[in-house]
Amino acid sequence: MLKLPRTIRLDPSDTLVFERAADPGEWAVSGAFVFYDRDIAAMGQKQRIALRSGLLGIDSLGWSTLAIVTEASEDERDEAIENLAAQLLEKFGAPDLDAARNAAEGEIAFAASLCDHAPQTLLAVSRVAENGEIRETFRTLKPRPIELGGDRLHAHARAFTFHEVEGDEPAEEVDLTGLIKGDRT
């Protein structure tokens, strides 16, 4: 079975840092083509973040910081190609459906080449724009092995969690000057 990347959202940060966040579970491609022939200096902050670290969800054309390697059937791959081709035709000005389909096939093939890892491996991208070229570096994120004597519950614990608060948030006040003065004694 072949493998393709799907967008994944581990926390709400994508909804905050990107103009449009991809929905979790969308088939994903690199998305570097979105920035082709664009003036990077004229982009807004959220667009520059997408350029630096976003993977493109095919259906929403939203961005995801991470994608997960997922097994896919030939029918799912073909559907992803058709959906991306439609987006390229409608939103990116492809000259015709055949040209859009050829470009989509190339993007999906490249995305599949990134998935030469075990299913459930996380993928991330880092991009830089230099001298009119966009350079991409991809990395994988794998769960940390459980240490001898460690428990499975806390082996992959997050450093931070996000919680929705209804109503007024409690006021938090920190006296930074007092902390600095207190540190000197």
Cβ–Cβ contacts within 10 Å for residue 147, how many?
8
- What are the structural domain ranges in the chain? 2-141
Query: In angstroms, rounded to a whole number, what is the distance separating the alpha carbons of residues 94 and 67?
Result: 26
Neighbour tally for 52: CB within 10 Å: 12
- Whole-number Å distance between alpha carbons of 53 and 18: 10
Report the interhelical angle of 74-91 vs 97-113 (nearest 10°): 130
Low-confidence spans in the chain with pLDDT less than 50? 185
Query: For residue 142, what pLDDT is reported?
Result: 74
Amino acid at the residue 75: D
Please give the model's pTM, rounded to 2 decimal places.
Answer: 0.78
177 vs 170: CA distance, rounded Å: 22
Sequence-distant (≥ 6) Cβ neighbours of residue 1 within 8 angstroms: 71, 72, 73
Q: Which helix (H) or strand (E) holds 123?
A: strand 122-130
Residue 46, both tokens: 């959220």
What is the per-residue pLDDT for 37? 85
Q: What is the pLDDT of residue 103?
A: 98
What's the pLDDT score for residue 71? Answer: 97
Using alpha carbons, select from 9, 160, 31, 168 the residue that is nearest to residue 91: 31
Instruction: Compute the distance between CA of residue 11 and CA of residue 137 in angstroms, rounded to an integer.
Output: 23
Q: What does the pLDDT read at residue 132?
A: 81
